[in-house]
């Protein structure tokens, strides 16, 4: 790829090497939604339905199954960790040109692991949450040895997740500070979207907001300070199908938004089409 050129999602080549912040933010929100679905809907919800139960409550932070069963609590964390592993596998089969898809996979992998790392620390310190509920159901009272073990596991997962996130984002390091900028924009959008979604739960807006801020925003704070990218990850792709060279910047052209708006209109939706300054200049 020639110096100064970037591959936009919508096709063609742009001379602007910076990622479109609006698109990165949107992908961050999508990643947060997928991460939440993996925990609440697929993890808890799947376990509830498979046991013959009925989903009594499902939001982005709360879940209840009728009848209640403590073991279902363990499947929320299992859903996140499984989702992170599947995202890691999918990265190995996603072509380099699919920049948006690759970014969503990296973000949802990272958010899923950070959620569970933070949740382990939360459970160890406050003696509550999915891990504690599941442990009480199996062992009765939860003593300090288990809580200390959870705390150590949470720290270990944080260190591992932070390093893995930077390693998988290595192809994004095609310009100084690009990984940091992308992660920070995505983190801010993901954290805000989780908080806003939590506020929609009218019976307990404050409690819901607190949980939403913790599970995505606070838990994923390490995204603001990515680990140094190993030089080996910058020089050597993991597989020929994963990428060719380095990732193209994530960018959507006016044509991409126009096609999206047309598709949405067919379903009688009102679409708002953000267009970059470069796109407005090109179309005007």
CA atoms within 13 A on the CB side of 208: 20
The residue whose two tokens read 């499902």 is 58
Torsion angle, alpha carbons of 219, 225, 226, 227, to 10: -110
Question: Please, which residues bridge with residue 6 across strands?
Answer: 14
> How is the chain split into domains, by residue range?
21-227+242-251, 256-284
The residue whose two tokens read 């998988």 is 168
104-129 pLDDT, tens digit per residue, is 999 999 999 999 999 999 999 999 98
Band of pLDDT at residue 256, cut at 50, 70 and 90: low
Residue 191 is predicted with a pLDDT of 95
Alpha helices in the chain (DSSP H): 21-36, 46-50, 75-91, 99-126, 130-139, 144-168, 178-199, 205-212, 231-235, 254-266, 277-283
229-245 pLDDT, tens digit per residue, is 766 555 545 432 333 23
The 10 Å CB-count burial string (b at 16+, else e) for 243-279 is beebbbbbbbbbebbeeeeeeeeeeeeeeeeebbebb
For residues 111 and 216, is the Cβ–Cβ distance under 8 A?
A: yes
């Amino acid at each position: 790829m020639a110096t100064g050129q970037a591959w936009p999602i919508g096709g063609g080549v742009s001379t602007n090497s910076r990622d479109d912040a609006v698109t990165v933010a949107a992908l961050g929100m999508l990643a947060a939604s997928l991460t939440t679905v993996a925990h609440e809907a697929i993890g808890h919800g799947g376990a509830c339905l498979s046991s013959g139960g009925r989903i009594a409550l499902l939001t982005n932070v709360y879940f209840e199954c009728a009848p209640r069963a403590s073991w279902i609590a363990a499947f929320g964390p299992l859903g996140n960790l499984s989702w992170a592993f599947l995202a890691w596998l999918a990265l190995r089969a996603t072509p380099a040109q699919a920049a948006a898809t690759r970014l969503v996979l990296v973000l949802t992998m990272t958010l899923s692991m950070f959620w569970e790392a933070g949740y382990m620390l939360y459970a160890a310190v406050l003696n509550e949450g999915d891990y504690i509920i599941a442990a009480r159901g199996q062992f009765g009272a939860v003593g300090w040895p288990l809580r200390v073990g959870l705390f150590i596991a949470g720290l270990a997962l944080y260190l591992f997740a932070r390093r893995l996130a930077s390693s998988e984002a290595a192809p994004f390091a095609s310009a100084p500070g690009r990984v940091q900028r992308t992660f920070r924009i995505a983190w801010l959008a993901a954290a805000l979207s989780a908080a806003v979604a939590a506020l929609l739960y009218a019976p307990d807006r404050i409690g819901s907001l607190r949980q939403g801020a913790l599970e995505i925003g606070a838990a994923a704070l390490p995204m603001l300070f990515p680990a140094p990218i190993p030089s080996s990850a910058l020089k050597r792709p993991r597989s020929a199908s994963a990428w060719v060279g380095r990732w193209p910047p994530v960018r959507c052209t006016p044509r991409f938004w126009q096609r999206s708006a047309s598709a949405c209109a067919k379903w009688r939706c009102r679409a708002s089409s953000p267009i970059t300054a470069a796109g407005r200049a090109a179309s005007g």
